[in-house]
Amino acid sequence: MKKLFLATTAVVALSAGSVSAADMAVKARPFAPPPPACAQFGGFYLGANAGWGYHDHTWNDRDAWSSENSGDLQRSNVRTDKTGFIGGVQGGYNWQTGCTVFGIEADYSWASIKSSALETDGDVGIDTDSLLIENRLRGIGTVKARTGVVVDNLLLYVTGGFAYGNFRRTATQTDLTPPAASEIFESSKTKWGWTAGFGTEWAINQNWSIKSEVLYARFEKDEVTFTCTVFCANEQKRFEYHDSVWSTKIGLNYRFNTGPVMAKY
């Protein structure tokens, strides 16, 4: 009887040890990491964009050049504005922590937005004196930071930084009274400024995303000097220019990442 009791006790102890070891194995098994709560936008990316731009330009006549030929033509400033197509490329890098994104981006858009304004002295026929102001936006670029949050697969962000644009300007004064005469001033310049705006980016899959963005860019005023020889005798005349651009664009980005990108539910 004693031997039977000892044998039974040994079997129970072995069984308890086996169950305990199995429990420990189950507890020691690592859990799989949870799926991401939002899309992942981290890493390098490149893309292309297209959209619409609005260019607002003001020409200031600092030394009354427009009145050298006709006092009725004097214009201290002339404002022009125009909209047109823009398109270009962009690239950048994002850092992402959880569902918060911080990044840097550079882009450049080619443009051919030409605005003009014709001012006259009010006379008709051969007595007409006129002033034609023309300005063309040939391209605009930005280097900016952006920060935002990801909701599911959509990044919502604000952005701001530096802007630069290339402008070509022409001022033409004409007198049709015989013998007719005209004087033309032309210049081309790249101007620096600042930009700010907001946008969205939607992750289609692991690598591709669609973005939309609205930006405002304001450029430094610049002053140029030229020598008037037709309507005045070798006098120095100064012009001052002010430029700003609104743009709205959509684009397609390719992200060079290998991790999970889509939010899971």
Buried b (16+ CB within 10 A) or exposed e, 142-173: bebebebebeebbbebebbbebbbbbebbbbb
Q: pLDDT value at position 25?
A: 46
Separation between Cα atoms, residue 4 and residue 2, nearest integer Å: 5
CA-closest candidate to residue 242, choices 138, 169, 140, 173: 169
Per-residue pLDDT tens over the stretch 11-65: 444 444 544 444 544 454 555 555 568 899 999 999 999 999 999 999 999 888 8
Per-residue pLDDT tens over the stretch 108-165: 999 989 999 988 877 766 677 888 999 999 999 999 999 999 999 999 999 999 999 9
- State CA 92 to chain mean position distance: 12
162 neighbors 195 (Cβ within 8 angstroms): yes
Beta-strand pair 222-228/77-97? unpaired
Q: pLDDT value at position 17?
A: 52
Domains of the chain listed by start with CATH number: 42-255 (2.40.160.20)
**pTM for the full predicted model:** 0.80
